[in-house]
Amino acid sequence: MNAPFPIRKECPPGACNCNREALLSDPRADIRILQLTQEEEKRLVARLESLASLADLRKMEERMRALLGIVVTITPSIHEVRTTRGISIRVEDQPGLCRKTRQAIPAAIRRCLDARPEIAYAILDAHDLLGGTRE
């Protein structure tokens, strides 16, 4: 299949379960995710690490969904949240999404939250976990 854009190189055999070949062989498949080449992934990770606010994070979530079909869910734990490890960051499984990318995106967001705790506080506040106690 000839894509109208450069696509990600295939992963070494046995290293990933992205089903890239099955995605390419299906003419009706959504191949937007394959636009995320390794260089583009590095740019995405750098952009996620440098977010400045919760609004920026929400914009990036929406852009990833619109441009690549990547769905990221960020929710605080139902238990006590003492560190950013208590915030759940999930990337939905989808055909063509490399295993390493599924790990790199949450790691980059977590590094951003560690560097800018005000974003983590805003996430908690958006889910009303702080209960209006912050000043």
Domain range for 107: 20-126
Residue 3 lies in a domain: no
* Res. 125: pLDDT tops 60: yes
Query: Is 102 among the domain residues?
Result: yes
**Does residue 1 lie within any of the structural domains?**
no
Q: CA 97, CA 29: separation in Å to the nearest integer?
A: 13
Q: Confirm whether 50 is domain-assigned.
A: yes
Whether 79 maps to a domain, the answer reads yes
Whether residue 14 is predicted with pLDDT greater than 90 in this model: the reply is no
Of the pLDDT bands very low, low, confident and very high (cuts 50, 70, 90), residue 81 is low
Query: pTM for this one?
Result: 0.84
In a domain, 9, yes or no: no
Confidence at 106, pLDDT banded by 50, 70, 90: very high
Q: Which residues pair with 72 in a beta bridge?
A: 91
What's the pLDDT score for residue 20?
78
Amino acid occupying residue 62: E
Domain tally for the chain? 1
- The Cα–Cα gap between 113 and 20 comes to 31
The answer as to whether 35 is a domain residue is yes
